[in-house]
Amino acid sequence: MQYWRSQLRRCQLDSLVPNAHQTCQSLRRTQQRTDGQARTNDNDLPAERRVPRAWLDLCNGALVMQGIEELLCATLRRENPPWPEYGDNKFVDRFIERSAYHGVQALLDHYIADHVDLSWPDVIVATCRQQATAQAMWEMRHQYMLNQVLDRLVAIGIHPILFKGTALAYDVYPAPFLRTRGDTDLLVPSDTRDRVAKALETLGFRELGIRADVISGQTSYSWTDPASNQEHTLDLHWRIANSTVLSNLFSYEELRSEARPLPNLGANALAADPVHALVLACMHRAVHKHTLYNVDDVARYGGDRLIWFYDIQLLFSMLSPSQRKEFVELAERKGLRATCLDGIEATRARFHTTIPEAVPGALSRPGPTETASGYLSGPRWYRIWMDFRAARGLRNRSGFLTELLFPPAVYMRQKYRQANLSWLPWLYVRRALAGSLKYLRSRDS
């Protein structure tokens, strides 16, 4: 059994494992030899080296996953890859599922439209076209909504900074609808939260989240388009991240001083400059390795979405030599060299991005211990401790502990609104038990 455990570990669900294909093929050949119909000699292998069927199925699944990831990356690299011979109906279904998870179906449609001779299954072509069309229609209304918001806020003296998906959609993508996303992130000065909230309410927005003063640095607002009955969401940030450690790295004032206009979006639209945007993109990916996010209403962990790597590729490719130097210097000042190195190296592995060796060389050179990168790669208990330490003053630290252990009652009743027992003390006990179990499972995994 130990032999097969070691073999199985060689073919995990990582699209970058170079020998996964060969390992799975080896397992298949061995299975044929040990199968009762194909085997010529029952004793040609010892019993402990015969392939457990469940492990063979898992390895086949790993091979399928690797094939899909490689096909997606090759297509986004515009290499005109043929549809694989082993791409049966199950492979097609899995391809559609994974391309939706990665947020690249609109990009695939953009590629397919330029390659009419591409012999891909009709259902994939139709699915990508449908998603691209839906995203383009959503984009039109979302842009209208955003300009209403930006115009109103600028009129009262508040200049939001757009960052992440929408900022990149209108800055580095050929067309904004190609950057699939479900909301827009805006950063405003902390002391303007109440004024922004009032302005959004006058535009017909309703607040979805519960604002907290220490742990959370954002809340969400929703607006329903009367023409399509479609919901549009704004994530309003007064800190760049829901982490005391990370939010202390980038202030509104810093991003505002370097912000660039987004004329493709509107006259009052401002976005983080490319250097800051690239560092933030690498940090954002690292955050989601341990922070939940939703894709099609499914909660997930992980920093492997191809749309995030595509962001990093487009951002890095637009940097001038002097901006690449600024990128390294900014990553070093913020203690994010390791995080940025991981982001650009993972991007290069997937999209063969041209990255001068001086950049990873500078990011990987020995230096002081990086608090932020250590935070992002550390276990949950360490991140909580670091956030607690980064909270300045007794009031903020006590507020941090209170919000961590006892979130607002409105939040608790909303989170457990379907619970049979809605007694508030019991809801806090339930949350504590669920959190403990989740922590133990994460340690086991």
The model's pLDDT over 145-203, given as tens digits with 9 standing for 90+, comes to: 999 999 999 999 999 999 999 999 999 999 999 999 989 999 999 999 999 999 999 99
Same domain, 107 and 143: no
Whether 330 is in a domain gets the answer yes
- Whether 195 maps to a domain, the answer reads yes
Residues 58 and 87 in one domain: yes
| Per-residue confidence (pLDDT) for residue 302, from 0 to 100 | 76
Would residue 275 count as lying in a domain? yes
Residue 94 lies in a domain: yes
Q: What is the pLDDT of residue 326?
A: 97
The pLDDT of residue 409 is 60
Number of domains observed in the structure of the chain: 3
Do 152 and 259 belong together in one domain? Answer: yes
- Please indicate, yes or no, whether residues 332 and 241 belong to a single structural domain of this protein: yes
Residue 392 lies in a domain: no
User: How does residue 407 score in pLDDT terms, banded at 50, 70 and 90?
Assistant: low
Give the end of a domain, one of 324, 348, 370. 370
Instruction: Pick from 88-97, 286-295, 312-321, 436-445 the range whose average pLDDT is largest.
Output: 312-321
| Parent domain of 44 | 2-120
Within a domain: 378: no
Q: Is the same domain home to 260 and 352? A: yes
- What would the mean pLDDT of 437-441 be, rounded to a whole number? 50
Same domain assignment for residues 252 and 279: yes
Residue 302, in any domain of the structure: yes
Where does a domain end: 89, 120, 151? 120
Same domain, 60 and 188: no
**Are residues 208 and 242 located together in one domain of the fold?**
yes
CATH number at residue 330: 3.30.460.40
Q: What is the mean pLDDT of residues 253-274?
A: 96
Q: Of all residues in the chain, what percent carry a pLDDT higher than 90?
A: 49
Q: Which of 370, 395, 426 is the last residue of a domain?
A: 370
pLDDT of residue 209: 64
pLDDT digits (tens, 9 = 90+) for 198-251: 999 999 999 886 555 545 677 889 999 888 888 999 999 998 887 888 888 999
Task: Give the pLDDT of residue 11.
Answer: 39
Provide mean pLDDT across the span 117-143. Answer: 92
**pLDDT value at position 303?**
80
Residues 218 and 351 in one domain: yes
The reply to whether 137 and 105 lie within a common domain is no
Asked if residue 151 and residue 105 are part of one domain, the reply reads: no
Query: What is the SS3 string spanning the chain?
Result: CHHHHHHHHCCCCCCCCCCHHHHHHHHHHHHHHHCCCCCCCCCCCCHHHCCCHHHHHHHHHHHHHHHHHHHHHHHHCCCCCCCCCCCCHHHHHHHHHHHHHCCCHHHHHHHHHCCCCCCCCHHHHHHHHHHHHHHHHHHHHHHHHHHHHHHHHHHCCCCCEEECHHHHHCCCCCCHHHCCCCEEEEECCHHHHHHHHHHHHHCCCEECCCCCCCCCCEEEEEEECCCCCCEEEEEEECCCCCCHHHHCCCCHHHHHHHCEECCCCCCCCEECCHHHHHHHHHHHHHHCCCCCEEECCEEECCCCCHHHHHHHHHHHHHCCHHHHHHHHHHHHHCCCHHHHHHHHHHHHHHHCCCCCCHHHHHHHCCCCCCHHHHHHHCCHHHHHHHHHHHCCHHHHHHHHHHHHHCCCHHHHHHHCCCCCCCCHHHHHHHHHHHHHHHHHHHHHC
Percent of the chain scoring above 70 in pLDDT: 73
Please check whether residue 97 lies inside any domain of the structure: yes
Assess whether 301 and 343 both reside in one domain: yes
